[in-house]
Amino acid sequence: MAPTPGKGMPVEGGMNVQGQFSEIGNVAAGLHGGLVWIMGVISVFVLILLFYVVIRYNRRANPTPSRTTHNTLIEVVWTVVPVLILVGIALPSLNLLAKQYESPPADAVTIKATGYQWYWGYTYPDNGGFEVVSNMLDEKGAAASGEPYLLAVDNRMVVPVNTPLRLQTTAADVIHSFAVPSLWFKLDAVPGRLNEKLLIIKEPGVYYGQCSELCGVRHGFMPITVEALPREQWEAWVLEQGGTVGEPVAPIEPSGEATAEAAA
């Protein structure tokens, strides 16, 4: 599958997070945007107060300073309002945190990403246990494939779209980190440990990421490319790799609910 320019990849001059194509990503990006506005409004409000105090209460405008020691109403307001703001931020933050640690369902497709110095290996234990080794393409190879240099790889991690994925991470040598910004996914790969998290990709496409844990001299040269395909195409790809396809997993609608056929 050819990548779509601007989708699943950084864009030149971008000032916001990448567009999101996972369920958790939509929730997190919405919270992020809301927090930016809240911080902006508070910053402007404090700046206005600062200018007001400087102009209204400087020595020339106010030669006789007030000897007021406290004001009950103001003290209540500047205590209660920040508390309400923090509670308003905490509730959706806790909801997002809980969503990021939801356990994958029993019928999720398992993919194990192993970090090596300095490339990735993707194993499909539910589909025969075959492994795909993924190395970065050089500049000429990336240009030939029409992909961004430093993000393109020779073999992608191929997954089914709208299907629960049990994405596991580990490492063979030092700590790596599997991160794909447009899927709002980041999970450390630690030697001797197996971490896992639920991922559901909403749309077919090619999504780029990179190792996000300093892991050695070629840390910046072990990109991640995830290719999400419709279920039938993904199963055909699995068979081409010499893997096996078992009982199909009911696909999930973009809204996150199972299809009517699956429910029946």
pLDDT digits (tens, 9 = 90+) for 91-130: 999 999 998 889 999 999 999 999 999 999 999 999 999 9
Of 139, 149, 158, nearest to 207 (Cα)?
158
Q: For 53, list phi and psi in degrees, rounded to 5.
A: -65, -45
Confidence of residue 264 (pLDDT cuts 50, 70, 90): very low
Query: Between 109 and 258, where is the model more confident?
Result: 109
Instruction: Evaluate whether 25 touches 198 at the Cβ level (below 8 Å).
Output: no
| Domains 23-100 and 109-258 alike in fold | no
Confidence of residue 261 (pLDDT cuts 50, 70, 90): very low
Q: Return d(Cα 176, Cα 123) in angstroms, integer.
A: 16
- Residue 177, pLDDT above cutoff 70: yes
Find tokens 């406290």 and name the residue.
70
- The mean per-residue pLDDT over the stretch 60-80 comes to 89
Query: What is the dotted CATH code of the domain comprising 23-100?
Result: 1.10.287
Residues forming a β-bridge with 111: 167
N-to-C CA span, the chain: 32
Q: Which CATH number applies to 109-258: 1.10.540.10, 2.60.40.420, 3.30.70.120, 2.40.30.40?
A: 2.60.40.420
- The mean per-residue pLDDT over the stretch 246-263 comes to 48
Q: What 3-state class would DSSP assign to 101?
A: coil
pLDDT recorded at residue 256? 44
Q: Which residues contact 117 (CB under 8 A, 6 or more apart)?
A: 173, 174, 215, 216, 218
Chain-centroid distance, C-alpha 248: 27
- Residue 5, pLDDT above cutoff 70: yes
Q: What 3-state class would DSSP assign to 217?
A: coil
**What are the structural domain ranges in the chain?**
23-100, 109-258
